Structure 1
Amino acid sequence: MSVFSERLTTARKAMGWTRKRAVSEFSLPYQTYSNYEQGKREPDINTMKRLAYKLNTTTDYLTGAVDNPAPASVTSSDLEDMLNDAHSYDGKPMDEHDRALIKQYLEALFSQRDAK
């Protein structure tokens, strides 16, 4: 078995899913998914991203680049750094006002989630 196949199987089991459930969640043919878990095939990058997202992990974990299966969390200072680095969106320039609005929106969104 490859690192990918072992980690895919481990992540699926951590979700409490059978292979049949995983196939349904991923909208993949059973044989294709089975080949992934048996190490006979590996998915393309778009499928890999979909698998990681649905399994609440990262492509880096599935491929063996990191050992922590949990997705990295973004802190307030990470958000600040990302917004400072954002100079445009969809080809349109962003100014300080735009970045402040985005930060405000994200802070409100996550504080509402935490309240639930």
Structure 2
Amino acid sequence: MIPDRLKKLRKQAGLTQKQIAEKIQVGQNSYSNWEKGNRTPIQPTIDKLAEILNTSSEYLTGITDDPTCIKISETDLDTAIDNSVAYDGTPITDHDREIIKNYLNEYFSNKK
């Protein structure tokens, strides 16, 4: 699953194997082996590849068949919440933060 999807998305993005390898700081040979199915990248690398290829690690690994289903990162979610305030202008409480995170994760995971 990963090899076919990597190759397809890389070509759609107009990138070479060398360009992607450089972006994730691995050798072109390593990346080539992933596309050939000789090796499988570890999860943190799959996450980086998904980000570069504008998709989700769930799509690359075959959990979903929807390439547009992009998982929001915890860092991006925390940053968005940090830049928000409650309706009354006060900072977001930790309890509200968890409610917002759960809601957004559920919303984006079900969006197709």
TM range (shorter): 0.5 to 0.7
Q: Is 1:25–2:23 an aligned residue pair?
A: yes
The structure with the largest alpha-carbon Rg is: 1
Change (3 A) 1:73 1:23: closer
**RMSD of aligned Cα (Å):** 2.7
Q: Which amino acid aligns with 1:49?
A: D
CA–CA distance in 2 between the matches of 1:52 and 1:60?
9
SS of the equivalent of 1:28 reads coil
Contact 2:56/2:71 (8 A) holds in 1: no
TM-score (norm 2): 0.62
Q: Is 1:6–2:4 an aligned residue pair?
A: yes
Change (3 A) 1:29 1:68: same
2:37 is aligned to: 39
Structure 1 unaligned spans of 5+: 84-92, 103-116
Q: Which one of the candidate residues 49, 52, 75 is aligned to 1:51?
A: 49
Q: Offset of 1:95 from its aligned partner?
A: 4.7
Q: Offset of 1:70 from its aligned partner?
A: 1.1
Q: Offset of 1:5 from its aligned partner?
A: 0.3
SS of the equivalent of 1:23 reads helix
Change (3 A) 1:73 1:50: closer
Change (3 A) 1:73 1:62: closer
TM-score (norm 1): 0.60
**Cα deviation code 1:35-65 (max 9, x no counterpart):** 0000000011111111111111001110111
% same residue: 36
Q: Offset of 1:71 from its aligned partner?
A: 3.0
